[in-house]
Amino acid sequence: MGEHYFAPRPGAASRRRTVDLVLPDLHLRLETDRGVFSPDRVDAGTRILLETVPPPPAEGDLLDLGCGYGPIALTMARRSPQASVYGVDVNERALELARSNAQAAGLDAVRFCPADGIDPGLRFAAIWSNPPIRIGKAALHDLLLAWLPRLAPGGLAHLVVQKHLGSDSLQRWLDAQGFPAERIASRSAYRVLAVSPPTDSPPTERRTESDPA
């Protein structure tokens, strides 16, 4: 993996390249670089998330948590062009790439910024994330507890996590924290979890798991 992709200012020498994200409904060519998450190809977990989640809400504020160079946020924007899409990351190089990729894809209304660049009063109709598991359990829990409470009533978060990196224990932890979590897909040792806010409001429609482990 080299230098941690969650470093705010990666020290690795720049060596840019392009990767392709090809899904049934879209094709994005994305620029990547050393020092960011999965620079050589779109990560398998990201691809599985984008192939299995229900369509994002057509309107409202949508968030890609840990956006990297932008594949998840840009997919949300392409699928829901009337929504306001945000991507947050600590990695400044990744954010620069994401902005460039958005412009190249004609999706320059997507906003990529550090966490403190988001209005703290904003509530999200959907949060999609391939979360940075390797920051450690305590830091990951802090990250999720900072953002999951910002789901709007009836909103959903969708997270993709490898089984051997703790997807099942994370699901139990989310439930214990009051965020009901349901596995909606399993593929290639990845789990996709749908996480609801702790509210009595009815969630948006979920897709049932069609590819059991």
Q: Which residue type is seen at 202? A: P
**Which long-range contacts (C-beta less than 8 Å, at least 24 apart) are formed by 12-19?**
14/93
Please state the rounded mean pLDDT for residues 185-194: 94
Phi, psi of 156 (to 5 degrees): -140, 145
Q: Are 151 and 123 in contact (CB under 8 A)?
A: yes
**Domain limits, the chain:** 17-195
User: What's the pLDDT at 200?
Assistant: 53
Class for domain 17-195, per CATH? alpha beta
CA distance 85 to 59: 10
d(CA 187, CA 101): 28
Q: What is the pLDDT of residues 45-94, one digit of tens each?
A: 999 999 999 999 999 999 999 999 999 999 999 999 999 999 999 999 99
Which of 128, 14, 115 has the alpha carbon at shortest distance from 71?
128
User: In the predicted model, what is the mean pLDDT of residues 148-170?
Assistant: 93
Please give the mean pLDDT across all residues of the chain.
90
In this model, does residue 202 exceed pLDDT 80?
no
For the stretch 143-157, pLDDT in tens is 999 999 999 999 999
> Over pLDDT 70: what percentage of the chain?
90
Q: State residue 207's pLDDT score.
A: 41
pTM for the model: 0.89
- Residue 199's pLDDT is 58
Tell me the chain's radius of gyration from C-alpha atoms: 16
**pLDDT attached to residue 134:** 84
Buried b (16+ CB within 10 A) or exposed e, 98-128: bbbbbeebebeebbbeeeeebeeeeebbbbb
